[in-house]
Amino acid sequence: MIGYIDSSFILSILFEDENYEKSIMEWNSLKYFFSSILISIETKINLFKIYSYNKFDEHWFLKKSSVLDEMLSSINQKHVDDEIVKVIQNNDVLKEIKTLDSIHLATAIIFNKYSNKTIKLFTYDNQMIQKAKKLNLKIGGG
């Protein structure tokens, strides 16, 4: 199976939240991983915020950083480019949501366009799921 990975999905695994068991099972079932380059920025910022807010020790932060880097290295990440901008400009659904979500969904559309297999979106963001369905993107985990 091929997955487009959103930051909420990877953070579920990293922070072992209430969706952890489901997320890790789905992660392990994927053969190929795709996302926007934004996933690296989003997840690293969130890791630092959790570390700082909760005043975890440096060992915790270094361990989680290492796990995150390993996960990110598995993901083929597309740079934000003119192709993504054009997809957003030509799609009203993508103009209705937050910029980062719009970029992620546009990137998922592009990966699906070039793939001969269906790529499923893995996210816990309800608004992204709703918009992805409007865009005829397949949702993972279901």
Q: At what angle do helices 99-114 and 126-134 cross, to 10 degrees?
A: 40
Tell me the two tokens of residue 108.
């998922």
Domains of the chain, first to last: 2-139 (3.40.50.1010)
Taking only the tens place, the pLDDT of each residue in 32-48 is 999 999 999 999 999 99
Taking only the tens place, the pLDDT of each residue in 3-18 is 999 999 999 999 999 9
Taking only the tens place, the pLDDT of each residue in 68-89 is 999 999 999 999 999 999 999 9
Report yes or no: 109 and 134 within 8 Å, Cβ to Cβ: no
What is the mean pLDDT of the segment spanning 94-109?
96
Name the strands in the sheet holding 2-5, side by side, starting at the edge strand that comes first in the sequence: 75-78, 32-36, 2-5, 119-122, 138-139
Given a cut of 80, whether residue 23 has pLDDT beyond it is: yes
Given a cut of 60, whether residue 111 has pLDDT beyond it is: yes
